[in-house]
Structure 1
Amino acid sequence: MKKTETKKTIHCAIYTRKSTDEGLDQEFNSLDAQRASAENFIASQASEGWVALPAQYDDGGFTGGNMDRPALKQLMADIDKGKIDCVVVYKVDRLSRSLLDFSRMMDEFEQKKVSFVSVTQQFNTTCSMGRLTLNILLSFAQFEREIISERTRDKIAAARRRGKWSGGMPVLGYTVPEGTTKLVVDPLEAERVRAIFDLYLERKSLLGVVAELDRRCWVAKQWTTRKGTQRGGRPFCKTSLHRLLTNVTYLGKLRYKDEIHEGEHDAIVDEDVWKKVQALMNRNGRSGGGEVKNKFGALLRGLLRCKPCDCTMIPSHSTKPSGKRYRYYVCAMAQKRGWANCPTKSVPAGEIERFVVDQIRCIGRDSDLARKVMEQAEVESRTQIAALANEEHLLLKNLGLWQTQLGEVLRKLPAMGEDSVMLGILADLQDRIREGEKRLTAIRIESDQLARSKVDPDSATETLAHFDDLWESLVPREQAELIQMLIQSIEYDGEAGKISIAFHPSGIGVIEQRLLAGAAE
């Protein structure tokens, strides 16, 4: 005897909604008409096991623009309890007029394995075509979410560019009075911030300052949110201290991504103190003090390049069975593509490091050679300045064009409403202008640094003559720092046996400062 298959019962909830309460007092109103249509549809699916639940989810006089509706809340609660297998509505907009809300509900339905049916629009997620339609609608919802995110980011960027605090937890030294959105200096905390900066200049080490802050029982900023939640108040660590010491907020400025703008708030730290701290941290690296570790003691790390392959040469080493270590600089291309692809391959580290230092010494001992080296460096500097000037000219031209186009879009936007194409063009123009302004700032900073790095050839020659004495007075870490500041790049051609050294004109100024500091001591 053939066994009869039993259909699974599909418990269907009917949701109805009307924006106004007009006509709801009639014997057969709009909500009744929606329910009747839905019941007829469910009855047509009786062979599939569909059954209409007796509970009525009716929202009369409620907008579909939000989810603050009693019947909808009850519907979602019953879905959470597993009472519902399918939600049936007369039209999609009865459930929601907001794509974002609709998307959230569809996500919830999918998680609870609840189907959704729109009677008059043939929208049914129990079949493949219905799911395809759902995916199309959700794609538009995703687009709307991205547009809203872009608008929010643009508002934050615009506020930061005007120097306004855009919310969040304030940093140590500042508070935000209730009912305002402006940073105000907290006198007691401000004194503590200035003391921390002075401590770092004194201790020259992040760990040393952290230890002293622990001894004093000083902690990071404590803050109570509007909801009464306590935030912060933790002891300092290297990371949080580094973040404090590099925060431009203490200069009376605000940072947005890589941009820095003048803020509306008062500064806490003197600019001279700030610059000294940043210079010390740059010299010490992220460790903020102590010895900057260099695994292989590589003096030319980041400077040496393989000329034939036009790529970096990386410090490496090998250890013999006797335990003796041999250091090398290896061509990155040779490592990646095989040794047969590079004529240079590798070079003993000690030999090329001694050669570079000896070349600098020779330059210092030969005034004519020193003058030629500085003249070549100046030529290279002028070439870079000219290239930056050309780039700045082109960028200013493009920024003017983009600003004009942005003005035209903004004038057209009110008449076109929330037109997706126009909003896309607007977002693209804003991104171009933002990136262009960022690059323009970088160009001007770099040009200014190059212009200020010019050194008088006579003064440079005299300074290089003292390189020998200075070099011998430095510890290995300081020698590596000096080489990094003095030399721009080193090209090694292993096939031809040639080495080319390009100098930073500003590096001569570093030697002068070191010599003056030594004389003062």
Structure 2
Amino acid sequence: MTRKSSRKKPAVTMRCAVYTRKSTEEGLDQEFNSLDAQRESAEAYIASQQNEGWGCLPEFYDDGGFTGGNMDRPALHRLMADIEAGKIDCVVVYKVDRLSRSLLDFARIMEVFDRHKVAFVSVTQQFNTATSMGRLVLNVLLSFAQFEREIIGERIRDKIAAQRRKGKWTGGTPILGYDVDRSGPSPKLVVNAAEAARVREIFQMYLTMGSMLPVVEELERRGWLTKTWKTKSGRPKGGRPFDRGSLHALLKNPLYIGKLKHKKNLYVGEHEPIVSADVFQKVQTLLLRNRHSGSTNSRNRHGALLRRLLYCKACGHAMVHNFTGRGTKQYRYYTCTRAIKSGRRACPSGYLPAAEIEQVVVDRVRAIADDADLVSEVVRQARELAEAELNRLRAERSDLERELARHHAALRKLVADGPTDGNAVARVADLQEAVTRAESRLAEVGANITDREAEQFEDEDFATAFQEFDNTWNALSPREQAQALALLLNRVEFDAGDSSITMTFHPSAIKSLATDLNEEAA
């Protein structure tokens, strides 16, 4: 009587995918071809590791008739997608060059494997990243790949520097006043006459008004926007209202006087200047003077307490502060920017007397201190606002991480291809600039998320803040009153239909508000 073994097969803990490749289609119609031989060897190796919990997945990842010199292979794409989906623990090949003949591509694939903790085994070369020796060999290969990437990167940077020394535009975000002509071997800047006229007027505005904030407000009043352009995929970009940052970047840009900047050096560009060197230099001098003096001209000289806080409920646009009159007699009012841009028929808000709406807002805020129910309601709204903002920041962080991954993938591909023509070099420069912007914004968003996650506020914090606001309001100067409201309020909406207002508060400012008010009133 034969005895049956009671030993059970170990459970599969290492799901193994076999990848095979052959450069030509020759012989693939045979009953047992090269791909079959590669798979048989890989399956035999997996079977030898059965006691370690290895098991072969039934899916076939076979690329017959595809070169290993690039990653444009359907089975490889399926393999990578399944790895991203968490379906694979180990990839087994007959030889390393079956996966890739390119060291850079191999390094990119290994980065994906490492990110998803997927092991890699080459059957005939004793290469197994599940072991310490295999990881050592992998690190050596990746070091060479990184070295090759850096060498190619240096060549690209040298070419960008050489092109800029020759006055050639090497890419970047399109700017107001110029269009990009990509019809030739290298992209060129050509003057957009209508935009150029606006740029010249903006430079003159700054010299006349003396600081950036009045210029920003005037540009908003006129409805002038930043440069509108499209990405290669056709997605529209730009076309936003000016803020101090975008205005400062425009006023500092030497492209407008026909110069190209590389690091700290300026070179004469091939493109036509649209601002005179004399005007540009006067603007730089004024920018420097304002930076040292704190730009005193940009202070709230007309006592607009709701500047950058007041919005029109009917259309959602900001309401900006204006005034009219001569000498000491002035009439102050707020106007919806949509009505300014498109005429009064576009928005029902009309002209809103500034002193009246400001007094209503201040009285509402001061009254909250005496009503516990109102304080509790403000706390509830503030918490909802804080949670919504935190969710928005988290979503933005995810979007930025995906954007960075796309930019890095595109850069790696361009670097691996070794771009030589001007458009390719400009594309690399564009991507590097996009990566820098995205990384900077990601760091900023991450810091904001950390701060908001650490925030804790209670009813008592709000009650104290509103009480201090009420106690010290009359002791504050108009500028300090505007700062206190900006610190406390997130948004004030005016409904022209029933002349009502809705206020939302800054949850993150509550704890510091009482201290700030005490310091200002002292």
- Shorter-chain TM-score: which interval? 0.5 to 0.7
Q: State the Cα deviation string for residues 208-257 of structure 1 (Å, max 9, x = none).
A: 22222122221211112221212112222222212111111011111112
Report the 3-state secondary structure (helix = DSSP H, G, I; strand = E; otherwise coil) of the residue aligned with 1:184. Answer: strand
Larger Rg: 1
Report the 3-state secondary structure (helix = DSSP H, G, I; strand = E; otherwise coil) of the residue aligned with 2:181. Answer: coil
1:139 aligns with 2:143: yes
Contact preservation (8 Å) 1:176, 1:182: yes
Q: What is the 5 A alignment of 1:124-163? A: 124-163=128-167
Q: What is the 5 A alignment of 1:201-280? A: 201-280=207-286
Question: For the structure 1 residues 157 and 286, does the alpha-carbon distance in structure 2 shift closer, same or farther, using more than 3 Å as the test?
Answer: farther
1:64 aligns with 2:53: no
From 250, 269, 289, give the equivalent of 1:283: 289
For 2:126, give the aligned amino acid: Q
Contact preservation (8 Å) 1:281, 1:288: no
CA–CA separation in structure 2 for the residues paired with 1:80 and 1:252:
48
TM-score (norm 2): 0.53
Report the 3-state secondary structure (helix = DSSP H, G, I; strand = E; otherwise coil) of the residue aligned with 1:87. Answer: strand
Shift of residue 103, structure 1, vs aligned partner: 1.9
CA–CA separation in structure 2 for the residues paired with 1:51 and 1:72:
20
Contact preservation (8 Å) 1:205, 1:288: no
Number of residues of Structure 1 aligned to a counterpart in Structure 2: 293
Using the TM superposition, name which of 256-265 and 132-141 deviates more: 132-141
Question: For the structure 1 residues 292 and 116, does the alpha-carbon distance in structure 2 shift closer, same or farther, using more than 3 Å as the test?
Answer: same
Hey, what does 2:195 align to over in structure 1?
Answer: 189
Report the 3-state secondary structure (helix = DSSP H, G, I; strand = E; otherwise coil) of the residue aligned with 1:14. Answer: strand
Contact preservation (8 Å) 2:10, 2:50: no
CA–CA separation in structure 1 for the residues paired with 2:116 and 2:161:
39
Shift of residue 122, structure 1, vs aligned partner: 0.6
Contact preservation (8 Å) 1:214, 1:235: yes
For 2:243, give the aligned amino acid: C
Shift of residue 4, structure 1, vs aligned partner: 8.8
Report the 3-state secondary structure (helix = DSSP H, G, I; strand = E; otherwise coil) of the residue aligned with 1:210. Answer: helix
Hey, what does 2:179 align to over in structure 1?
Answer: 175
Question: For the structure 1 residues 4 and 54, does the alpha-carbon distance in structure 2 shift closer, same or farther, using more than 3 Å as the test?
Answer: closer
Q: State the Cα deviation string for residues 401-420 of structure 1 (Å, max 9, x = none).
A: xxxxxxxxxxxxxxxxx9xx
Question: For the structure 1 residues 273 and 68, does the alpha-carbon distance in structure 2 shift closer, same or farther, using more than 3 Å as the test?
Answer: same
TM-score (norm 1): 0.53
Hey, what does 2:101 align to over in structure 1?
Answer: 97
1:77 aligns with 2:81: yes
Report the 3-state secondary structure (helix = DSSP H, G, I; strand = E; otherwise coil) of the residue aligned with 1:126. Answer: coil
Shift of residue 286, structure 1, vs aligned partner: 6.5
Q: State the Cα deviation string for residues 306-340 of structure 1 (Å, max 9, x = none).
A: xxxxxxxxxxxxxxxxxxxxxxxxxxxxxxxxxxx
Greater relative contact order structure (CA < 8 Å, 6+ sep): 2
Indicate the RMSD between aligned Cα atoms, in angstroms. Answer: 2.5
* Structure 1: 5+ residue stretches without partners: 294-417, 419-521
Shift of residue 292, structure 1, vs aligned partner: 10
Report the 3-state secondary structure (helix = DSSP H, G, I; strand = E; otherwise coil) of the residue aligned with 1:176. Answer: strand
CA–CA separation in structure 2 for the residues paired with 1:286 and 1:240:
20
Q: State the Cα deviation string for residues 333-366 of structure 1 (Å, max 9, x = none).
A: xxxxxxxxxxxxxxxxxxxxxxxxxxxxxxxxxx
Contact preservation (8 Å) 2:165, 2:267: yes
Q: What is the 5 A alignment of 1:367-446? A: none
Shift of residue 6, structure 1, vs aligned partner: 4.5
Q: State the Cα deviation string for residues 54-97 of structure 1 (Å, max 9, x = none).
A: 32211111111111111111212222333322111011111011
CA–CA separation in structure 2 for the residues paired with 1:119 and 1:254:
54
Hey, what does 1:29 align to over in structure 2?
Answer: 33
CA–CA separation in structure 2 for the residues paired with 1:275 and 1:80:
54
